[in-house]
Amino acid sequence: MREIYSEIGRRFCLPGSIAAVRRTGNGNINHTYHVTLENGEDYIFQKINTSVFRNPAEIMENIARVTAHIRGKCGARPCLGFLCTESGDNYTVIGEEYWRAAPYIDSVTPDTCLTPEVIRGTGEAFGEFQRQLADFDGSVLHETIPDFHDTHRRLDTLFSHAKERTDMKNARVFETAGELTRLRTYYKEAILLSDRYRAGAFPVRVTHNDTKANNVLFDRETLLPLTVIDLDTVMPGMAMYDFGDAVRYLANTAAEDEADLTKVSFSEERFAHFAEGFLGTVRDTLTPDELRNMVRGAFSVTVELAARFLDDYLCGDVYFRTDYAEHNLVRARNQLCLADDILAKAARLQEITETYVRGA
């Protein structure tokens, strides 16, 4: 047992000593551990990635505010919240490391049970989260990662890194020439929404900003959604990107890092189930212009992720967790393939969203 876990347990005043610790979760950023005490109680310990989140105290302040706001709205469902230390902080610093702890919620994630009901439930959960925050004043939130979903800036950053690395004759940049060309072709279409957002064309919502399906926990027995997790990136943002990021992940018939591109496609069925859950929950609170741009949101955020993965590949894999040398390149190719398929199916996907906007 590493001493650090016991120290974390002490600081968060856990009722007993630790019996087991195992790595859990499939996040690309933070390190998450499932901790069991001698008395059988389960907890989650998480080490915050401080090279991604430069100011962890600010994220934890955001989370405290957001969870306090939604606490009264959770009904019988568990409400996400981190434990506090004796001094009342919802995180603790050990050496250079920032740690937080929460009671473990026994659950499953859609990754492991992608039924139509679960996909619809995922849409409802993210929609509900957005509704719960509709009366929350986003201006009090810190921008934990500035310009997080500024697709325009993400693409420009990639192209400028590509240029620098071409000048440096970096091998990786030559390997990715084809992907860079494809991203240039998508540039104009992909930056449209974030440019309009920046110009004030869309309402500023308080959004989750990382709506991967595995950020919703479901009851093991009933398969009903319990809670949304991973609130690190809750910030002011666009409704279309929360929708888009969710379907980018969930409607992909392959994993986000599947290397065999013949397995990658955008499932209209899964998209429809998610749209039904999400739009059914939020459509009354969104403007017609937002509702019209959901499919474009899916395309834009998929291109954005392709750009982010490729950028990380060029920069030497400094951001996302990678398991092998080409991991980020594989992810970028996967997302480009998915973006192609979204474009090819765009008209049909638009019809589907319109059905759920009308409330069928």
**Site residues (vs ligand GN1, CB under 6 A):** 27-29, 52, 210, 212, 230, 232-233, 256, 305
Question: CA 120, CA 225: separation in Å to the nearest integer?
Answer: 10
> 277 near 127, Cβ under 8 Å?
yes
| Partner whose footprint covers residue 28, from Mg ion, ligand GN1, none (CB < 5 to 8 Å by kind) | ligand GN1
Q: Which is nearer to ligand GN1, 11 or 233 (CB)?
A: 233
For residues 275 and 121, the answer to whether their CB atoms sit within 8 Å is no
- Output 165 or 212, the one with its CB closest to ligand GN1: 212
Give me the least distance between CB of 76 and ligand GN1, in Å please: 27
Q: How far is the CB of 42 from ligand GN1 (least distance, A)?
A: 21
**Sign of CA pseudo-dihedral 33, 244, 154, 145:** negative
Q: Reduce the DSSP state of residue 60 to 3 states and report it.
A: helix
The structure tokens listed for 67 are 């969870």
Q: Identify residue 231 by its one-letter amino acid code.
A: L
Are 193 and 230 in contact by the 8 Å Cβ rule? The answer is: no
Instruction: Output the smallest distance, CB 166 to ligand GN1, in A.
Output: 26
Give the residue with the Cβ less far from Mg ion, 210 or 317: 210
Q: Which of the choices ligand GN1, Mg ion, none does residue 305 contact, using the CB cut-off of 5 to 8 A by kind?
A: ligand GN1
Nearer to ligand GN1 (CB atom), residue 133 or residue 305: 305
Rounded to 5 degrees, φ, ψ at 266 are -100, 115
Q: Which residues contact Mg ion (rule: CB under 5 A)?
A: 210, 230
Is the CB of 210 or the CB of 276 nearer to Mg ion?
Answer: 210
Q: What are the residues facing 21 on neighbouring strands? A: 35
Alpha-carbon span 331 to 350, nearest angstrom? 26
Residue 11 or 227: the one with the smaller Cβ distance to ligand GN1 is 227
Q: How far is the CB of 52 from ligand GN1 (least distance, A)?
A: 6
Q: How far is the CB of 142 from Mg ion (least distance, A)?
A: 16
Residue 230: count of CB within 10 angstroms of its CB: 22
Task: Decide which of Mg ion, ligand GN1, none touches 340; Cβ closer than 5 to 8 Å per partner kind.
Answer: none
The partner in contact with residue 256, picked from ligand GN1, Mg ion, none with C-beta cut-offs of 5 to 8 angstroms by kind, is ligand GN1
Q: Quick one: DSSP state of residue 254?
A: S
